[in-house]
Structure formats: structure tokens, C-alpha cells
Structure 1
């Protein structure tokens, strides 16, 4: 998404050649392939860890740090290594996103009209907010010191990075669509929501 916006804003005349269907397929395949490989490695490794402290987690889904707390052997060190690889991949993606947005903001500040700058910022800021929310809460969840850990805090933080961004993304991006705005306005004016 960041690369798409960067090319659209910084190099609009080259958009068709830089982001053709072949490039989009390669980027999607790389994202899906790396996510599948990462999750497969974690799943296989997690199921090989012996648990001796029960099997009840303080989460609403099986999160790796919570499972590692139940381990009774040193085989969890493999999982810590895999988490390091995951953090490296995520950090690389985050750096790429930040560099893309630096390029975007440099290009935007050169736009002479206030309306043009507003249009670009209103397009880019929702994505940047969602990426920041996801990354900051995920980093906090995985790297917070054990001294400030509590079951309720862990639950809230994991909810923030696992449920909120996927739930809010379609709403944010669809509300930019004028046809959807017009249809929603018609529903409100017709009293559809009052009849329910």
C-alpha cells in the first residue's frame, strides 16, 4: 500500500509501468508466501514444545509468548530464534513503509496548492494511522517488560493489534469511495436506520 501510494504521488507518469499487473502479482505472492512460511514455521515449532504448566492461556487466541510461558524445557529457544526472524522481517517492512512515506511527504510539501496537499494527506494518513497502531501495539505486546504485564493489559493490547486494524481498514478505505458515501447518505435520508 505504501509503495502504491509512493509511486502514485512521486512518479505518477510511471505508475502503469512500475505497478503493472506483473509487479502486483509478485508483491502479493511475496507477501503471502513469506506470511505462510513464517506462520508454518511457528506452528510446527510451537507444537513441538512440551507444555508442563497446563494448557490455559490468558488470551483469546493462542499467542506465541503466552504459549512459551507454559513451556518447561529449553526447546523454546528455537521459538525465540524464530521470533527474532519474524521481528527482522517486520522491521524490514516497517523501514520500507517509513522510507516510502518520507518520499511521499517530501513530494507533498512541494505541491503548491493547499487543496492538492489536503487530498494527498487524506489519502495517506488513514493507512499510516493503521500501520502505526498495528506496529506500536504489537511491539508493545511482545517487548514490554514482565513487570508491567497483567492479564487484562495483555488482552487489551492483543485485541488492539489483532482485531481493530482489520475491522477498521475496510471502513476507512470504503468511505473514500464517493458512491458508497452517496448510498449511505440516501439510506440515512430515507430513514432506514430509524426503522430498525
Structure 2
């Protein structure tokens, strides 16, 4: 009688790929003040990816185009903070799709959008193979608001320049008209305009 011994081993190998963010057009939108806005971060990843959303009110204030990764739109610059839910803002994570297990979605719904929702939104995803990020934005259309500094009405210049800062907020951004500024009903002989700051030079109020 001949005896034979057999041993069967099985090995399950999972290849973890570096995550990718796709359908990036869903990461930017516009809405009116008090309206509804939605951003969707669509990710292809395995290996239990971690997906998060950060917000910055200043990172979008740049000449770079929308939607590029890393450096564009201040990808690593600005006052970034982790986005948290509130009464008007909800964050939803998609359930695992057994037919497409590598597809993940993180959705942001904003109802009653306010000025503070206007800004850049950065989706970041990491897994054991690496990370990816994409910066989109929500633009909230609103009427311009004008703030002038300083607010006092009486000055003793003594031939020193008076600097008036005119801050305009809103989207689309309105342009301030420095010619509308008057001081004690006298017009300064020389104007030097620098973006939001107007300087009255060499004017003696006497």
C-alpha cells in the first residue's frame, strides 16, 4: 500500500492602489445667497481609504485656476480647517457598493447658503498606498457690502497723507469707485489708487 501526503495552501493577495479623485466637476458649484449647494468628492481607492473635507475662506483668493491639485487654489496655503456639520451643512458618506467596492463618495449638502460658505473646499483621501487631494469651491452670489476704514469724520492732517481703505465683499466682486470719496466737501488734487486702498496725498485742509 502506498501512502501519499498532500498539502494545499491558499494565498489571498490584495493589491492596494494609490487613491484617485475622479469626476472633479462635481467639486465646484455656484448658488445664490440662501440657496442650495452640493459638492461631491468621488474617489477610486481600496485598502480602507480615509476621506476628509477641509474648508478655507482665503485659499481661493488667487489667480490660479480652479480644480488643480496641490499648489493650485492654495492647496497647501490658507486658513484650512476641517469641515464640520451644522444646522445648514450636512456631510454624507456613501455606503459600500458590493458591485463597485473601490468607488467611494463624500457629499456635502448646504441649505440656506450664507457668505461664510463661500470659499475653497479640499477633498483629501489617504490609504496604505498613498494620498490624493483636490480643491474645488463654492461661490455664493450675494450683493456687495462696503466697509470704509477709518470711520471717523474729523482729521487734523498737517499735510500728512490720509489713507482710506475701502473693503468690498460679495460675489461677483464689485469694484469700488474712489471718486465718490469726499472729505469736508473738498476734492483732493491728487489721487493714488491701489486696489482697495485710496490715499489722498499732499492735501492741506486749511
Q: How does the TM-score come out when normalised to structure 2?
A: 0.18
Bigger radius of gyration? 2
Q: Tell me which protein shows more strand as a share of its residues.
A: 2
Q: How does the TM-score come out when normalised to structure 1?
A: 0.19
